[in-house]
Structure 1
Amino acid sequence: MTAESMTERVVAEPAGPAREAAFAHALDVLRDRRDEFEAQRYVSRDFIALLKRAGMYRASTPTEFGGEPMAPADFMSMVEQISAVDPATGWVASFGSSLVYFAALPPASQATIYASGPDVAYAGGLFPMQEAEKVDGGYVCTGVWQFASGCMGADILGIGLAGGPDTAGKPLTALVDPADVDIVENWNVAGMKATGSHSVRADRLFVPDEMVFVRGGTPQIDEPITRYPGLAYAAQVLAVVTLGAARGALDYAVEVGAARTSITGGQVKGNRSFYKTGVARAEAELRSARAFFYDTTAQIWDKAVAGQPISSSDTAMLRLAATHAAHVGRRVALDVFDLAGTGAIYDTHPLQRYLQDAMVPAQHAMLQTGTYEAAGAVLLGLDAGIPSFP
């Protein structure tokens, strides 16, 4: 594997107005192409390039390797804005945060990955974790790994390997060149269609030791972005997609409800008691969950910047805020669907995108209902009962 093969040479615009304009342009393009991405079931590589120009794929690259790490709240705000246009594309963009995992690699390996620039798109098909054959200098990997979101536009892929006593039970991730594996296009789902979360297949692929790391392992680079809890961040970036989906749905409800006339000639929807009350309650729920989410993020980021210890309770609070955001966002999207009435059942209705996609994040293992219990256990000083939690 070479840096040349891993990294498409797309460079972020200079920080400031040029990068902000690049992000605004990407949102405009997405409004035009989101139906295309949903129909083909993946986000096209040329659109990933637009997100690179907006700085999203250097947002978790350490400064040591030319990155411009963003505060998690700032990065997730961008993901939220994308998700308000198209949640599935927001899900793919959220993996711009996942380069924090690479900090567990030897510094020389990280230097190889970023040799052609800090703007690297990564996708991981990590489950089921496969038992690889350990050989001199690396691992021989065979198997099929599911849920490789964004794999169709990735520069580098990760595959999951089972850990052992030397990793404290934590799984390993092996980094591979997309050209060395097969993408099995089997992403047939009702929600998050455009994420292209296909499977990855390898047959006796050798991966050198220096390109294998413990997921959630000790960072070898010490910067604020590598001090921030990596697994919690992985849950957060998925949860914020639901906040964006709910915002997109709610904005649509307000736009429709503010219309002056009804198609039937009767009272407009927005002037009906149930509609006004429903919009108000949904707005309050969404803003409350969002405030908890971002406030908790800011508190823990301040600790990371200051180099202060981040406790298990701190990390559990991040996980709790993420789970809550995913579940509240899903409920808000469903409540808006209820307000919309019969017309919303059609595939072509604007709310279908938000509804179908908003149902998915809370189904993710990192955000399922059981993580409420796990967070409560940690806050009470008890065993979480879930591996790698918090």
Structure 2
Amino acid sequence: MNAPPEKITSGTHAATATWADLSKLLVDIRARRNEFSRAQKIPKEIVDGFRRVGVYRAMAAKRFGGEERTPADFCRLVERISEADGSAGWVASFGDGARYLAALPDDTLRKVYANGPDVVLAGALFPLQPAKRCADGFIVNGVWPFASGSPEADLIGVGITLEDDPSGDLPRVAVMPAEKVTIRPNWDVIGLQGTGSHDVVVSDVIVPEEWTLIRGGPPTLDGPIYRYPAVAFAAQAHAIVGIGIARSAIDDVIAMAETRASITGAPVMAERGYVQLEIAKAEAMLRSARSFFYEATEELWKEALKGEVNLGTTTLMRLAATNAARQGAEVCRIASGLAGTEALYSNSNLARAMCDSFVVAQHAALNEGTLQSAGRALLGSAIQPGFP
């Protein structure tokens, strides 16, 4: 990887945040990976560390003290965190939530950022739950699974439906303070165990209409980052987690191969032909997927800078994101296979990488269905609502 710049961000609130600060945080994250898995969440002090290094202000508007970083800048930050731990990277990826919040009315945004730009948004969109209109807005009830990062969030967003909603096929999101939501701890899974992706339960919460937004709808704010497609950006923020995990897996195998001898008397791993072959394949797969990912990101960003984003470029971005997630998972499978019995233990970094990367690739925005949607778009066929 290229050497990172000295400063992570350049805004007023982050003037002292450097890559050295991030490196210190990553040392702590690496040392506590097993703890995150057991707790089924990323703890408050780590989320506060994300605030300090600019994860949550990165995509917030400059007028509210944010950074308005480029999508590639944000993804590189998430990628590096993911190299330390997949669950931590996944939770950090939700720093892209500032892009979703940009669809709220201006007056609401001023309230959101009244205390600064480091606002943590979590939540879950599906299944959309019916909400009822009332004099003060909407009465929201329901249960939503997969609310990653919800235990330490400031705001929670959930997907709702309304009769005769003018948003049409695009889902509406109701945003509310986290204290109005009950978290049902049930995140008992094989991968990304530390993401706190529990169910969230909402009971008779009144959400004013001005605290709702249309996911994928036009933003209130203007600027290149707000012309960059929100749904595609969310997909790529998740996908880059898989690339970071895979990088760590390859590095772990290389470090192991230099010294690990077989109990049967075989040569050290680095001298075995099949290890040499497979590690070369894995390295090529990872670098190819990563290059496609950032190439597509930069092409889409160029269009956002010019003021017009087209379907073809956005489709390639979605394709690159899905490819990154899938290739990352395959690289981790190869790496764990090369590790042999070392990867059988539940506290093995390579076992964790394989399971974490598998879960990344299972996300609805990164699974086989997105490949089909991308293919339809590339062939000029009709595409489903919400894609790209």
TM-score scaled to structure 1, two decimals?
0.93
1:318-337 deviations in whole A, cap 9, x for unaligned? 10000100111111100111
Aligned letter for 1:100?
A: R
| C-alpha displacement of 1:342 | 2.5
- Equivalent position of 2:241 in the other structure: 241
Matched, 1:358 2:328: no
| C-alpha displacement of 1:261 | 5.1
TM alignment of 1:292-311, pairs within 5 A: 292-307=292-307, 309-311=308-310
1:103-131 deviations in whole A, cap 9, x for unaligned? 11111111110010011111012221100
| C-alpha displacement of 1:162 | 1.8
Aligned letter for 1:387?
A: P
| C-alpha displacement of 1:20 | 2.4
TM alignment of 1:141-156, pairs within 5 A: 141-156=140-155
Check the 8 A contact 1:76/1:237 in 2, yes or no: yes
Could you tell me the percent identity over the aligned residues?
Answer: 42
Between the aligned partners of 1:157 and 1:326, the Cα distance in structure 2 is 26
- Equivalent position of 2:54 in the other structure: 55
Between the aligned partners of 1:256 and 1:95, the Cα distance in structure 2 is 33
Matched, 1:170 2:170: yes
| C-alpha displacement of 1:343 | 2.8
Check the 8 A contact 2:147/2:199 in 1, yes or no: yes
Between the aligned partners of 1:343 and 1:15, the Cα distance in structure 2 is 41
- Equivalent position of 1:197 in the other structure: 197
3-state SS of paired residue (1:167): coil
Check the 8 A contact 2:17/2:52 in 1, yes or no: no
Check the 8 A contact 1:86/1:353 in 2, yes or no: no
Check the 8 A contact 1:13/1:53 in 2, yes or no: no
Check the 8 A contact 1:62/1:225 in 2, yes or no: no
- Equivalent position of 2:272 in the other structure: 272
Between the aligned partners of 1:35 and 1:343, the Cα distance in structure 2 is 16
1:35-57 deviations in whole A, cap 9, x for unaligned? 11111000011110101000111
> What CA RMSD, in Å, does the superposition of the two structures yield over aligned residues?
1.5
Q: Which moved more, 1:298-307 or 1:259-268?
A: 259-268
| C-alpha displacement of 1:236 | 0.4
- Equivalent position of 2:333 in the other structure: 334
Matched, 1:118 2:117: yes
| C-alpha displacement of 1:263 | 5.2
- Equivalent position of 1:42 in the other structure: 41
Aligned letter for 1:71?
A: T
Between the aligned partners of 2:79 and 2:354, the Cα distance in structure 1 is 15
- Equivalent position of 1:24 in the other structure: 23
Aligned letter for 1:389?
A: F
Counting matched residue pairs gives 377
For structure 2, the residue ranges without an aligned partner over 5 or more in a row are: 1-10
TM alignment of 1:308-327, pairs within 5 A: 309-327=308-326
Aligned letter for 2:34?
A: D
| C-alpha displacement of 1:28 | 1.3
1:45-104 deviations in whole A, cap 9, x for unaligned? 111010100011101111121111111111111111111111011000000011101111
1:152-210 deviations in whole A, cap 9, x for unaligned? 11011111102555102111111111111211111111111000001111111100011
TM alignment of 1:46-195, pairs within 5 A: 46-162=45-161, 164-195=164-195
Between the aligned partners of 2:36 and 2:261, the Cα distance in structure 1 is 33
For structure 1, the residue ranges without an aligned partner over 5 or more in a row are: 1-11
3-state SS of paired residue (2:119): coil
Between the aligned partners of 2:227 and 2:317, the Cα distance in structure 1 is 14
Q: Which moved more, 1:251-260 or 1:145-154?
A: 251-260
Between the aligned partners of 1:201 and 1:14, the Cα distance in structure 2 is 34
CA 62–14 in structure 1, closer or farther in 2 if over 3 Å, else same = closer
| C-alpha displacement of 1:349 | 2.0
Q: Which moved more, 1:231-240 or 1:20-29?
A: 20-29
